[in-house]
Amino acid sequence: RTFHIAAIPADGVGTEVLEAGRTLLDALAADSGGEFAFEWTDYPWGTDYYHRTGQMMPDDGLDQLRDVDAIYFGAVGAPEVPDHVTLWGLRLAICQGFDQWANVRPVTFHPGVTSPLRTIDDTSLDWVVVRENSEGEYSGLGGRNLAGRGPGNEVAVQSSLFTETGCERIVRFAFDLARTRQRKVVTSVTKSNAQQHGMVLWDDVFARVAADYPDVEANSCLVDAMAARFVLHPEDLSVVVASNLHADVLSDLGSALAGSLGLATSANLNPERRTPSMFEPVHGSAPDIAGKGIANPIGAIGSAGLMLSHFGLHDAATRVRDAIDATTAAGVLPADLGGDATSKQITEAVLDHLETA
């Protein structure tokens, strides 16, 4: 079967790391004996496009993407354009426009990569942060200068939106995912002591849904305590489900504990498969290292692996995971992991390990 993939490298290191993942996917397809193939369409959207047109993507951008099997995304962001313009103009426009309501962010510990945390010496640790990706704190509701007051006295409101349907679908997703894992534990994260409306609704839904999954251990934790728990009791965790903002922060913390943000993978899923899902490294455009050829491509390559799983190509996905582990175990590490391998050298090492897998 041929899978049609839309590539949107966008900005900064996004373009560099996407190239790496694409090389790998093409190598796997060539090696599949005709079982699967990829057809790519490139979309040159992002900050350069914005400078030319005043928009991050064209008005009919979502329509152009609607029929692809998946979107492979790099990163947006450039120092000269406000981040909320680049983020809302492209990445969030796709996530929200296609109702990719489940953002799955595995936190994977790789052999040969040292965690900054001395308590983590066990590369068998394996968490998945499940992020509500359609509402919550990133609903976009609110506005500036609401009271019409003058400069120096402005009022801005940024509202969080929690719907029972939105909470229930992400919580069920987390429990269903936990059922497929060795450690069947779901930890729900909120700040319902301070945010007494939306987050209490989330807690209520979590308790109700948990009753449908007697085979999965369910527990809840406040987000501030959870940040400490990530560091102090990492072995307790398996699936962590949280709102848009909380899961965004916790997944970055998780990836740093696993060694680097450059390793972190993510899938923005529309689980009903009505619209395309999007696969991307968690990191941003990293303008501080862009153009140097030293970006860590592992997050992007691992995200391509998540795309393979989404396509049902589980053997190929396993080969990608194993090849990444073999590469880090052999000490082929990029600068952010304390090594001196370039993006290209790492990609080649992963390719070599695919051959021998």
What is the token pair recorded at 222?
Answer: 């406040």
Residue 257 contacts residue 105 (beta carbons within 8 Å): no
Please state at what angle helix 13-30 crosses helix 343-356, rounded to 10 degrees. Answer: 20
Residue nearest to Mg ion (CB): 248
For residues 169 and 177, is the Cβ–Cβ distance under 8 A? no
Q: Report the nearest approach of ligand NAI to the CB of residue 23 (Å).
A: 16
Helices (H), the chain: 13-30, 47-53, 61-65, 83-86, 92-97, 164-179, 198-210, 223-232, 244-257, 298-310, 314-329, 343-356
Which option in ligand NAI, Mg ion, none does residue 248 bind, with CB closer than 5 to 8 A by kind?
A: Mg ion
Measured in whole angstroms, the distance separating CA 235 from the mean position of its chain's CA atoms is 22
- Stretch of residues binding Mg ion (CB under 5 A), selected from 5-13, 99-107, 172-180, 241-249: 241-249
Cα 62 from Cα 234, distance rounded (Å): 39
* Among positions 186, 336, 341, 345, the unique one binding ligand NAI when judged by CB under 6 A: 336
Tokens 């190929």, located at residue = 316
CA dist., res. 94 & res. 71, Å (int):
9
Q: Which stretch binds Mg ion (CB under 5 A): 3-11, 42-50, 242-250, 310-318?
A: 242-250
Rg (CA), the chain: 20
Tokens 């990719």 belong to residue: 100
Binding mask 169-208 for ligand NAI (x = CB under 6 A): ----------------------------------------
Please tell me whether residue 248 binds Mg ion under the rule CB under 5 A: yes
Residue 110 DSSP label: P
Q: Is 91 a binder of ligand NAI (CB under 6 A)?
A: yes
Return the residue of 189, 295, 304, 323 that touches ligand NAI, per CB under 6 A.
295
- Output the smallest distance, CB 337 to Mg ion, in A: 19
The nearest distance, CB 246 to ligand NAI, in angstroms, is 16
CB of 282 to Mg ion, least distance (A): 6
Is 284 a binding residue for ligand NAI by CB under 6 A? The answer is yes
CA atoms of 171 and 194, how far apart (whole Å): 21
**Rule CB under 6 A: is residue 267 a binding residue for ligand NAI?**
no
Interaction mask 2-31, ligand NAI, x per CB under 6 A: -----------x---x--------------
Count the residues of the shown chain that bind ligand NAI, applying the rule CB under 6 A.
22
The residue count of the chain comes to: 357
Instruction: Provide the pairing of β-strand 277-281 with 70-75.
Output: parallel
**Beta carbons of 89 and 47 less than 8 angstroms apart:** no
The least distance separating ligand NAI from the CB of residue 79, rounded to whole angstroms, comes to: 7
Give the residue closest to ligand NAI by C-beta: 77
Which residues are at the interface with ligand NAI (CB under 6 A)?
A: 13, 17, 75-77, 83, 87, 91, 261-262, 280, 283-289, 295-296, 299, 336
Binding site residues, Mg ion, CB under 5 A: 248
